[in-house]
Structure 1
Amino acid sequence: MPQLVKGGKYVFGWIKIRAGGELKIPEEALNEYDLKGELKVFILPGSKKSGGFGITSYKKLTDSKLNLILTNNLDLANYNTKKGEMISYRGKKYCWEKIQNGILKLSDDLLKTYGLQIGDVVLSVRGSGLSLGVLTKGPIFEEAQKHSEISMFT
């Protein structure tokens, strides 16, 4: 896993959004964030600087300081909202999606919320211990564009 600059973020690789909104999550990221198999995951908003979103499990989210997202949104916590339906909480949008065999299928609502479309390329990075980062812009994204050794997952 390349580190872009000394002391900087580690990246898993570029991911091209495939037909149907599919993202092929790098195997190393699936292992590190315990996202293997078939499971429901939560999509959290990324930072203003880097855009994109984070992908995390129920366990990681409930064990974190951000557990209020679920305790204050029981329909989301209990998967009673439609898969991929964005809900607003404190001015930010959240949803749940499914990962199957390393593939995360993004809903049209999620793609629209983050200004993404089929064929776009996003950057998967080691985020906090809480979530896998999926970046769409910003200084880390721009630095990664200078590194030809970063793998592309399609």
Structure 2
Amino acid sequence: MLSCSKLKNILQENPALKDRTLPEGALLSYKGRKYGWLTLKNSSIYLSGNLMQNLKIKTGDKLLAIRSSNIAFTMGVRGTLIDKSNSYIGEIKIY
């Protein structure tokens, strides 16, 4: 199913991601972004301590869901968009 999606090129150039021989939670770099896979459990994803360390996040950090592309979703914890969201006067829902 994914081989016909917009992820096609990423998967073709990264067979370990395509066939899931890349360990769950491991990251690989492709064109300046990091990609990996996680199993969805009870409608949630769980990040290992190692993955959190690699992503430079910690328990309690608030992650902002950022619309970045039609390929994947992005979560941010620092940077310009985070600064703007912190100074936003309106409501940003927390899930």
User: TM-score when scaled to structure 1?
Assistant: 0.51
The one-letter code of the counterpart of 2:76 is L
Question: The residue matched to 1:104 in structure 2 has which SS?
Answer: coil
Alignment pair present for 1:85 and 2:26: yes
Alignment pair present for 1:76 and 2:39: no
Alignment pair present for 1:141 and 2:82: yes
* Higher-RCO chain (CA-CA 8 Å, sequence separation at least 6): 1
Aligned positions, number:
94
Using the aligned pairs only, state the percent identity. Answer: 26
Alignment pair present for 1:121 and 2:62: yes
Greater strand share, 1 or 2?
Answer: 1
Q: Which of 86, 92, 95 is equivalent to 1:150?
A: 92
Verify the 8 A CA contact 1:70 1:77 in the aligned structure 2: yes
The one-letter code of the counterpart of 2:35 is Y
1:88 shift after superposition = 4.2
Can you give the 5+ residue segments of structure 2 that lack an aligned partner in the other structure? none
After superposition, the C-alpha distances for 1:4-56 in whole angstroms (9 at most, x for unaligned) are xxxxxxxxxxxxxxxxxxxxxxxxxxxxxxxxxxxxxxxxxxxxxxxxxxxxx
Verify the 8 A CA contact 2:39 2:45 in the aligned structure 1: yes
Alignment partners' CA distance in 2, 1:109 and 1:86: 11
1:90 shift after superposition = 5.7
User: TM-score when scaled to structure 2?
Assistant: 0.76
How well do the aligned residues superpose, as a CA RMSD in angstroms?
2.4
Alignment partners' CA distance in 2, 1:77 and 1:129: 18
Verify the 8 A CA contact 2:64 2:76 in the aligned structure 1: yes
For 2:47, the equivalent position in structure 1 comes to: 106
